[in-house]
Amino acid sequence: MRVLVVEDHRTLNALIADGLRREAMAVDTALDGHGALERVDLTRYDVVVLDRDVPGVHGDEVCRRIVAGGAGTRVLMLTAAGTVRDRVEGLGLGADDYLPKPFDFAELVARVRALGRRSTQALPPILDNGDLTLDPGRRVALRSGRRLDLSPKEFAVLEHLLAAGGRVVSAEELLEQVWDEATDPFTTTVKTTIGRLRAKLGVPPAIHTVREGGYRIGPQ
What 8-state DSSP symbol labels residue 169?
A: B
Q: What residues does each domain of the chain span? A: 2-119, 127-217
Cβ-based neighbour number of residue 152 at 10 Å:
16
Does 86 score more than 80 pLDDT? no
Q: How many CA atoms lie within 13 A of 121 on its CB side?
A: 4
Asked whether residue 184 carries a pLDDT value surpassing 80, the answer given is no
Identify the pLDDT of residue 151.
93
The number of beta carbons lying within 10 Å of the beta carbon of residue 209 is 15
| Tens-place pLDDT, residues 26-67 | 999 999 999 999 999 988 899 999 999 899 999 999 999 998
Closest Cα to residue 161, out of 212, 127, 186, 191? 127
pLDDT of 123 reads: 63
Assign 47 to helix, strand or coil.
strand
110 has a pLDDT exceeding 80: yes
205 preceded by a cis bond (ω within 30 of 0): no
Q: Any idea what DSSP says for residue 185? A: T
Q: pLDDT averaged over the chain?
A: 88
**pLDDT per residue over 127-183, tens digit each?**
999 999 999 888 899 999 999 999 999 999 999 999 888 889 998 889 888 887 767
Tell me which CATH code domain 127-217 carries.
1.10.10.10
CATH entry 3.30.360.10 includes domain 2-119? no
